[in-house]
Amino acid sequence: ETGVTQTPRHLVMGMTNKKSLKCEQHLGHNAMYWYKQSAKKPLELMFVYNFKEQTENNSVPSRFSPECPNSSHLFLHLHTLQPEDSALYLCASSFRQGPKTLSYEQYFGPGTRLTVT
């Protein structure tokens, strides 16, 4: 899984902690995504970045804050989370030929398993 990497793979944090998830893609892609995968629920798109610009915020609570410093790196900053935020957080990337064109299929990282206590 050298295409899209995520760190850490596992994270346990208290409700008052601040932590960050990191994603890095080595595929030359220019669009990056955060998804939340909870048990028995469909995959939820959280944020989309195209050419480093945020183009989608899918009604995500402000306790989740994304950052995309360049087209290869994506962060998800976490603070004052709730126990229901415990889930697998997946990063994905894809390629699009231009800002107004469709992007191709997405490639996923292995995920960060987050547990909020």
Partner 1 sequence: AQSVAQPEDQVNVAEGNPLTVKCTYSVSGNPYLFWYVQYPNRGLQFLLKYITGDNLVKGSYGFEAEFNKSQTSFHLKKPSALVSDSALYFCAVRDMNRDDKIIFGKGTRLHILP
CA 4 to the chain's CA centroid: 11
The correct pick among 17, 22, 45, 63 for binding partner 1 (CB under 8 A) is 45
Strands, E, within 26-111: which ranges?
31-37, 44-50, 53-57, 64-70, 73-79, 87-94, 107-108
* Phi and psi, residue 53, nearest 5°: -105, 135
* Phi and psi, residue 85, nearest 5°: -80, -5
Which listed range, 13-21, 59-67, 70-78, 84-92, lies at the site for partner 1 (CB under 8 A)?
84-92
The correct pick among 26, 38, 43, 57 for binding partner 1 (CB under 8 A) is 43
Can residue 107 be called a binding residue for partner 1 (CB under 8 A)?
yes
Q: What is the closest distance, in whole angstroms, from the C-beta atom of residue 109 to partner 1 in the complex?
A: 5
| Helix, coil or strand: residue 4 | strand
The correct pick among 25, 30, 50, 93 for binding partner 1 (CB under 8 A) is 50
Cα gap 23→8, rounded to integer Å: 9
Can residue 74 be called a binding residue for partner 1 (CB under 8 A)?
no
For partner 1, the binding residues (CB under 8 A) are 1, 4, 6, 31, 33, 41-43, 45, 48, 50, 55-56, 90-92, 94, 96, 102-103, 105-111, 113
